[in-house]
Amino acid sequence: MLQKLPLLTLFSALFLFSCAGPGFTGFSYDPEGVEDTTDRETFPQYYRTIGFSGDGVWFSNEFNGSRMNDVYRIDKNHFRVVIDPENAPINNSPWFGFKVWSDSTADITIELEYPESHQRYYPKISKDKINWRPFDPTGYSNNASDGIGILNLELQNDTLWIAAQEIQTTSVFQNWLSEMRSRPFITSQTIGYSHHGRPVKLVKMAQSSLQVQKGIIVLFGRQHPPEVPGFMVNLIFMETLASDSELAKHFRSYFDIWAFPMMNPDGADEGHWRHNAGGIDLNRDWHAFNQPETRAVRDALLTLKERKNRKVFYGIDFHSTSSNIFYPIERNYHTFPRYFTYDWADALIKELPDLNLRVLPYDTSSPIAKNWIFNTFGADAVTFEVHDEIDRELMNELAIKSAELFMKKMIDIYQSSYLYAGTNTVSTN
């Protein structure tokens, strides 16, 4: 039996030191210097099971997608789990994930402590790491003054998983991909490798078609590991585009999909808050391309420049944050298609008013994926943010409805560009 004592790790010491510089409060949305995307040191968590023999309570982070840097006992059946990021400064996206069980039934209290940050994600709980539900609200509180989350629960011999969001690792993605590839028009290929050698995958949807010209829709996902609702919407969105409906078949006769749903595989498997294993926010690396994941995706997409009968029409970069938001390109930029994001958002707001979808335009200067699509291909693009705590049924509806409206509107654009205006009249840039 292991008895774990409170310990200021070397990492904690470095972390405190690194946060002492001016400008970083631990809560800023984008820390200073985020656009310098050259590699920075990261501090991996230690994978271990920590037991408290007196209470018969056990904690473990020995699985992919976990994050639990330390645990110590405060009192009988009262524990504190310490959660640190992979490095700092960093956006406040404090991912946590661990499993816990006890030798016999016990009521316990678990505090979640973020030494340089504060509780953000509403805890989710699972008995099998597959089916998740939000933590019982009567057992959860969030101490605003010190940013600690407090969970009260009855523990039994059966293992419980507790995490910031559903645990969606690369193996979950691989299983999904294997199922998707049973469709003859879906293929995947490894286009590069992450810092830690995990594959970066391109998933292509290309139904055979009589059309000479096809549009390309580019989908990015999971640049930021904790943004699981955005990831899940991305996958359901793709399933809807791949469905047997007449709408989807019609859409696929005009458009191919190039999707990169798991852009940060190291971050997803290693329980990162924000960064890849190079210690960098990938969605700030679309000017410098210092990171292997962004470089691989860029190089795959640049091959489209040489294909005269393939034109990039649109890009979607899936994320999640504290509300449902579309970040379109400002109206004064001449995108092709023009104003697509605004029209699509209007239709979605009408269909699903409960989303309270906000539309917040931005200019095209920042080094993010959406802007790279516009600056490289002239196409319209959006950063599609899903609410961190969206009701999961509404989330499914959002994914399906947004995909259906997207297909209808894109078919209209295609037809007015190629069919009605005569074939091959649109420049392929």
Q: Does the protein bind Zn ion through residue 124 (CB under 5 A)?
A: no
Judged by CB under 5 A, the chain residues 332 through 361 that form the site for Zn ion are none
Nearest approach in angstroms of CB 271 to Zn ion is 16
Where on the phi/psi map is residue 197: left (φ > 0), alpha (ψ -120 to 50), or beta? left
- Of the pair 231, 418, the CB lying nearest Zn ion is at 231
Nearest approach in angstroms of CB 35 to Zn ion is 15
Residue 72 CA to residue 88 CA, distance in Å, equals 23
**Residue 9 identity:** T
β-strand pairing of 57-60 with 49-52: antiparallel
CB 87 within 8 A of CB 279: yes
What are 348's two structure tokens?
Answer: 């979605």
- Of the pair 55, 385, the CB lying nearest Zn ion is at 385
Nearest approach in angstroms of CB 274 to Zn ion is 8
Judged by CB under 5 A, the chain residues 199 through 228 that form the site for Zn ion are 224, 227
Please identify which residue in the block is written with the tokens 């310990």.
7
Nearest approach in angstroms of CB 258 to Zn ion is 20
Judged by CB under 5 A, the stretch of 70-78, 174-182, 314-322, 390-398 that binds Zn ion is 314-322
The DSSP bridge partners found for residue 385 are 319, 325
Question: Which single residue brings its beta carbon nearest to Zn ion?
Answer: 319
Q: Starting at the edge strand that comes first in sequence, how are the strands of the sheet with 70-75 ordered?
A: 70-75, 78-82, 106-113, 148-155, 140-143
- Of the pair 219, 407, the CB lying nearest Zn ion is at 219
Residue 358 CA to residue 367 CA, distance in Å, equals 22
- Of the pair 51, 85, the CB lying nearest Zn ion is at 85
Q: Does the protein bind Zn ion through residue 319 (CB under 5 A)?
A: yes
Kindly determine how many residues on this chain lie close enough to bind Zn ion according to the rule CB under 5 A: 3
Nearest approach in angstroms of CB 410 to Zn ion is 24
- Of the pair 230, 337, the CB lying nearest Zn ion is at 230
CB 243 within 8 A of CB 187: no
- Of the pair 169, 383, the CB lying nearest Zn ion is at 383
Nearest approach in angstroms of CB 40 to Zn ion is 18
- Of the pair 60, 91, the CB lying nearest Zn ion is at 91
What are 194's two structure tokens?
Answer: 């992450």
Q: Does the protein bind Zn ion through residue 274 (CB under 5 A)?
A: no
- Backbone dihedral angles phi then psi of residue 380, each to the nearest 5 degrees: -75, 155
- Of the pair 221, 337, the CB lying nearest Zn ion is at 221
Which H, E and C letters describe 61-91, residue by residue? CCCCCCECCEEEEEECCEEEEECCCCCCCCC
Judged by CB under 5 A, the chain residues 223 through 262 that form the site for Zn ion are 224, 227
Site residues for Zn ion per CB under 5 A: 224, 227, 319
